[in-house]
Amino acid sequence: MKNVHVSEKTNNRFDQDAASWDAKEYRIKMAGNVTEAIRNEVILNSGMDLMDFGCGTGLVSLPMAAEAGSLTGVDNSAGMLEVFLTKAAEMNLPNVKRLNLNLGDGDTLPGSYDLILSSMAFHHVKDISSLIRLLVDALNPGGYLCIADLDSENGLFHADNTGVYHFGFDRENMMELFRLSGLNEVRACTASNMPRTGNDGVERDFPIFLITGVKQ
């Protein structure tokens, strides 16, 4: 498997921040908007197996788990996954499991899924073309890939850009990568606008897109 260069530099920070991650109101609101945008694109049912790549604490995917057959949270932060699993237990979701994987170390994605989603994780991945192909390979025929991330910006979103490989993405370029990976019915929408003070001290809205494609 080609190394997709998932950043390891931010692991310690995410592990340390996991317990308090959900305390930020803007994160809750943004995740809720992304979840709603995915629901507008994909009709969930109890026969669907879901996977959340870079799941963090499950803010986006856990609200969908009760309507699906299963949810697998994938992350390279053990701290985030611990919170993810604790929240699943508190929500009485026995169909949820976690996988602590680092594709940059050559880990592979087991299983096959009807919906693979990812929110705000792709800008921490160097080779997104290879990652998209890996995720598409893990989709069942007719399955959906839903990626939410930042529109192109000037490196202002993060206070510290360590471990950030991309300052957002051009939507058209991302949609073309979906098509080149064999996905059809590729479409994009604005899932959310995140108000945030950039590292230049100026508060602005950072648009978050959702791009969806279907494997035939």
Give the model confidence (pLDDT) of 60-107 as tens digits: 999 999 999 999 999 999 999 999 999 999 999 999 999 999 876 777
Please report the pLDDT score of residue 4 as a whole number. 58
Nearest Cα neighbor of 49 from 96, 5, 110, 115 is 115
The top-level CATH class assigned to 11-215 is alpha beta
Task: Answer yes or no: is pLDDT of 9 > 80.
Answer: no
User: Angle 214-211-10 (CA atoms, 0-180°, nearest 5)?
Assistant: 115
Sign of CA dihedral 158, 160, 166, 167: positive
Residue spans per domain, the chain:
11-215
pLDDT exceeds cutoff 60 at 113: yes
Q: Label residue 52 by pLDDT band (50, 70, 90).
A: very high
- Euclidean distance between CA atoms 155 and 171, whole angstroms: 17
Q: Please say whether the beta carbons of 33 and 148 come within 8 A.
A: no
At residue 192 the predicted structure's pLDDT band, cuts being 50, 70 and 90, is very high
- What's the order of all strands across the beta sheet hosting 113-119? 96-100, 70-75, 49-53, 113-119, 139-150, 203-215, 183-197
